[in-house]
Amino acid sequence: MDTSLAVRARGITKCFGDVVALDGMDLDVEQGQIHGLVGPNGAGKTTLLGLLLSLAVADEGSLEILGAPVGRALTAPDGVAGFVDGPGLYPSLTARKNLAALATLRGRDARTAGIDDVLGQVGLADVADDRVRGFSLGMRQRLGLAAALLTQPRLLVLDEPSNGLDPAGKRQVHGVLNRLAADGTTVIISSHRMDDVEALCSEVTILATGRVVFTGPLGKLSAENRELDYRIRTSDPEAAQRLALDTPGAVVVESSDAALIVVRADIPALDDLVARLVHAGVAVRELAPVVSPIEAAFLALTDQETGR
């Protein structure tokens, strides 16, 4: 038993009738990290989250959570909290009363459970006494996070935690998750938003057709995707295009009159091109991948796995 791991899964298989949702999946998640779980629809992400929250049990394989083996009972191990497919809330109750009800269900005194503190952490202090039925999707997501925080989890499992959040709300939620990880809590998030995964996660697991097609650090994922299209905006697009055409390993795939070219290159060729631009006195005003490295790798890996 490896006590440095928050999650250790070996050979996990889960079927629903003839549908194989997870197919002999292995997974290691270290304690104190934010781990991203991504994949196309039907890849098995929701099924995996359900297993981690003990909403279902695996048909085959072994699963350890926070150092303890998971048995056949649908009982979440101590220290695990989160939600799948959105948090379960009482729409007729206020945000505060929702959390008070949760505290009471867990045998705690609502007056000392820290309800005001967690509402403040997720930015809902001003609407604590409003009924949840009037909340937006983003507010419901934040209240679901507050409910999870109320249990002081050591493993937090979240499904699309940024759903419906405006930029300020997303920044607040990201801050909460980063602080939790810094304090030693393990966070697993499933998301279709690659910008969230890149901003939050130190490691990522990509699922396709119930199998793990990649797991590891984000840097390794980006490095394995050799060529990307980069958008380059300069002070002299004609000179930039000429220099790009003369740079080994770089291909101009698009150019326009708006001081913009799109170049396909690996990192060494891109570095060479930027050096040539600077040497020629061409100002580089924007340099960014057209598709982020993680999204490009995700598309390549999942397309290969599904045979597209």
Read off the CATH number of the domain in which 257 is found: 3.30.70.340
CA dihedral defined by 200, 12, 86, 294, rounded to 10 degrees? Answer: 30
Q: Are 42 and 306 in contact (CB under 8 A)?
A: no
Same domain, 40 and 93: yes
Same domain, 187 and 283: no
Same domain, 163 and 196: yes
99-156 pLDDT, tens digit per residue, is 999 888 877 777 777 899 999 999 999 999 999 999 999 899 999 999 999 888 999 9
Same domain, 106 and 166: yes
Same domain, 185 and 247: no
For 172, the 3-state DSSP assignment is helix
- The pTM score is 0.81
Domain boundary (222, 256, 280) is at 222
78-101 pLDDT, tens digit per residue, is 789 898 887 888 899 999 999 999
Looking only at the bridges linking them, the beta strands covering 260-265 and 251-255 are antiparallel
Same domain, 174 and 287: no
The predicted pLDDT at position 86 comes to 77
Reported as a pLDDT band with limits 50, 70 and 90, residue 42 is confident
In the chain, the number of structural domains is: 2
Same domain, 161 and 263: no
61 Cβ contact list (under 8 Å, min separation 6): 9, 10, 11, 12, 13, 24, 25
Domain boundary (164, 196, 222) is at 222
b/e 93-130 (16+ beta carbons within 10 angstroms → b): eebbbbbbebbeeeeeebeebbbeebbebbbbeebbee
Same domain, 279 and 139: no
Same domain, 125 and 11: yes
Give the Cα separation of 43 and 41 in Å (integer). 6
Q: DSSP code of 131?
A: B
Give the Cα separation of 270 and 273 in Å (integer). 5
| Full residue range of the structural domain in which residue 109 is found | 5-222
Domain boundary (178, 201, 222) is at 222
Residue that the structure tokens 């999204």 belong to: 295
Looking only at the bridges linking them, the beta strands covering 186-190 and 34-38 are parallel
Same domain, 75 and 208: yes
Same domain, 125 and 232: no
